[in-house]
Amino acid sequence: MKSDFVDILSCPKCGSPIAVADGDRVDEIESGTLRCQAGHTFPIVGGVPRFVESELYVQNFGFEWNVHAGTQLDSAISDESEQAFRAKTGFTPEMLMGKLVLDVGCGMGRYTDVASRWGATVVGIDLSQAVQAAQHNVGGRANVHIAQANVFELPFRDETFDFIFSLGVLHHTPDTKAAFDRLPGLLRTNGRIAIWLYSNYGGWRPSELYRYVTPRLPKRLLHGLTYVAVPLYYVHKIPVVGPLLSFLTPISHHPKARWRVLDTFDWYSPKYQWKHSYEEVFPWFEEQGLTDIRVLGSPIALQGTKR
């Protein structure tokens, strides 16, 4: 953890300022304790401040992103995550350059990586142990801070951030709208927020039935089972019978085998997985007083501005 991170932190329990309680305030703090003025304490473990005592309902994501810590990171030969980030947020490098940005549900740091490469100072938070992978992947950058925190009890003062984004995360909480409602207040005036949620426009699929069982399976067993996505990808391409099998055995159809395994596990493993429509979500932005609301081309993706 970088010592200057405390400058934007506040206690998620009482809202009072936070300081480093033990250990020297060096540039990088690997372990120690944070303490607020009211006496609440929070450990720093592996360079990451921890504002939660457990992963609660997201152990699957802690497992997933530490197993697939590098699968979705961009490289010299692939900018797929950057392209997805553009489509799902509507943000550009020019918009984020020099700004303070919050990534809600950063996972292993896929989109924190993109925004920080664009020149933003990025705070990535996640409820799960995925923060360990994020810290390893991007936490060493001078413009990145990683913290383990709950979206319902975030350790930040109101009007802290210039931009906030949450892509594919809020629908995995117990209440998507309640989670969203925690975020606009963290924006500064003229700040922008973008979210991307699962769509309910696609209709019912057998995977909804399978999910009554799959989130309850041991994580390693389910992950092993999702390797069936590697050969099924080709079976689903067989004329006539392929489309039927695709309907009955839904998997990711990403062209990269490792991504197929990851995406399939990501679909079948979460405890909570809500789906939404633009007709439902658009009013959430209006209720929060957000303006210039943009419906983006990657359902369900919206962006709004705080005036």
pLDDT averaged over the chain?
96
Which regions of the chain does DSSP assign to beta strands (E)? 18-22, 32-36, 41-45, 48-49, 100-104, 121-126, 144-148, 161-167, 187-196, 290-295, 301-306
Q: Let me know: does 27 contact 3? Beta carbons within 8 Å.
A: yes
Predicted local confidence at residue 221, as pLDDT: 98
Rounded-to-10 torsion of CA 158, 159, 161, 164: 70
For residue 26, is pLDDT > 90?
no
Mean pLDDT of 18-27: 76
The mean pLDDT of 207-218, rounded to a whole number, is 97
pLDDT of res. 24: 57
Ordered by where they begin, the domains of the chain are 1-50 (no CATH), 75-198+276-306 (3.40.50.150), 206-268 (no CATH)
The model's pLDDT over 262-304, given as tens digits with 9 standing for 90+, comes to: 999 999 999 999 999 999 999 999 999 999 999 998 899 999 9
Q: Environment class of residue 241 by beta-carbon count within 10 Å: exposed (0-12), middle (13-18) or buried (19+)?
A: exposed
Q: Residue 202 has what pLDDT? A: 85
Across the range 15-40, mean pLDDT stands at 87
Q: Among all chains, which residue has been given the structure tokens 């009072």?
A: 16
Is pLDDT above 60 for 222?
yes
For residue 158, the one-letter residue type is D
Strand order in the sheet with 187-196: 144-148, 121-126, 100-104, 161-167, 187-196, 301-306, 290-295
Q: What is the pLDDT of residues 120-152, one digit of tens each?
A: 999 999 999 999 999 999 999 999 999 999 999
Q: Name the pLDDT band for 307 (thresholds 50, 70, 90).
A: very high
pLDDT of residue 13: 96
**Of 171-175, 188-192, 297-301, the least confident:** 297-301
- H or E segment to which residue 179 belongs: helix 176-181
Q: What are phi and psi of 124, to 5 degrees?
A: -105, 125
Q: Is 152 left (phi over 0), alpha (psi -120 to 50) or beta?
A: alpha
Residue whose token pair is 């009007």? 159
Whole-number Å distance between alpha carbons of 137 and 101: 18
Which of 27-36, 125-134, 195-204 has maximum average pLDDT? 125-134
Instruction: Report the b/e string of 164-182 with b at 16+ CB within 10 A.
Output: bbbbbbbbbbeebeebbeb
Residue 303, sorted as left (phi over 0), alpha (psi -120 to 50) or beta, turns out to be: beta
C-beta separation of 258 from 266 below 8 A: no
Tokens of 61: 């994501």
- Residues 144-161 have pLDDT tens digits of 999 999 999 999 999 999
Residue 23, pLDDT score: 58
pLDDT confidence of residue 306: 98
Percent share of the chain, pLDDT over 90: 95
Strand partners, 2: 28
| Predicted model pTM | 0.96
Cα-flanking dihedrals φ and ψ of residue 226, to 5°?
A: -70, -10
Mean pLDDT, residues 72-91: 97
Q: Is-contact 178 184, C-beta < 8 A?
A: no
Q: How far is CA 57 from the centre of its chain?
A: 14
Give the model's pLDDT for residue 25: 59
Rg (CA), the chain: 20
